[in-house]
Amino acid sequence: SQTIHQWPATLVQPVGSPLSLECTVEGTSNPNLYWYRQAAGRGLQLLFYSVGIGQISSEVPQNLSASRPQDRQFILSSKKLLLSDSGFYLCAWSVRGRGNYGYTFGSGTRLTVV
Amino acid sequence: GENVEQHPSTLSVQEGDSAVIKCTYSDSASNYFPWYKQELGKRPQLIIDIRSNVGEKKDQRIAVTLNKTAKHFSLHITETQPEDSAVYFCASYSQGGSEKLVFGKGMKLTVNP
């Protein structure tokens, strides 16, 4: 069966520090991968999505970036965190070309920038 | 691009009452409509979905209806229980478009015992 792993679960980082969040999927090949951010009490904001290795689409311009170095690995990064980067970050995957089977979300990373 | 509107943004009901969440979408090519439930501090989880060739789907106490002509779909929860308290997101997917779901902004449901 397919599983999605996301880590770390919680993170407290100072303003201006770098960020790296990792997401991996097991049990499937060629998945579509997504990064979402959720501010406290708010909706799901799509940050990036990828339909293949090295293929990244950015939805919202900001100081975050994403990379997909391997088929089942998706990384969210920042060189310098801002206070506004705080939130709940969720990785998700779907079957490529068949997104109508919905997403499976990872357990999320709660990031607090102080 | 596709836009999904969800309302109300909050709903409070008494245990045993029914709850209805409504969503509208803009892209007539949308053909898949999932609903996600997110409990506090946890990940969103798929609870039910409906495809464009179906008008209604039920799974125990939850049901979803789709009106393609009016471009709206709704989630119905009957005999609500305190454990139904959560944020519910609707979403739509357009076949042939970019491979991503477009989510509504969510509705916080509170079921009072």
Give every CB contact of residue B113 below 8 A, 6+ residues apart in sequence.
B15, B82
**B104 neighbourhood in chain A, CB within 8 Å:** 43
In our burial notation (b when 16+ CB lie closer than 10 A, e otherwise), range B67-94 reads eeeeebbbbbbeebeeebbbbbbbbbbb
| pLDDT, tens digit (0-9, with 9 covering 90-100), for A46-66 | 999 999 999 999 888 678 999
d(CA B23, CA B20): 10
Which residues of chain B fall below pLDDT 70? 95-97
d(CA B50, CA B93): 11
**B89 neighbourhood in chain A, CB within 8 Å:** 43-44
CB A49 within 8 A of CB B99: yes
| Mean per-residue pLDDT over chain A, rounded | 92
| pLDDT, tens digit (0-9, with 9 covering 90-100), for B18-48 | 999 999 999 888 889 999 999 999 999 999 9
Nearest by CB to residue B99, choosing from A32, A90, A104, is: A32
Residue B14 burial (C-beta neighbours within 10 Å; 0-12, 13-18, 19+): exposed
